[in-house]
Amino acid sequence: MAAYALSPIDLIPDVIPVLGYLDDLVIVPLGILLAVRLVPADLMAEFRSAAEAKGSRPVSRGGLLFVVAIWLVAGAAASWFAWRSLSGN
In the chain, domain spans: 1-55, 59-89
Helix and strand numbers, DSSP H then E, in the chain: 4, 0
Residue 27 pLDDT exceeds 90 = no
Residue 7 pLDDT exceeds 70 = yes
Residue 2 pLDDT exceeds 90 = no
Burial class (CB in 10 A: 0-12, 13-18, 19+), 10: middle
User: Quick one: pLDDT band at residue 28, thresholds 50, 70, 90?
Assistant: confident
pTM of the full structure: 0.47
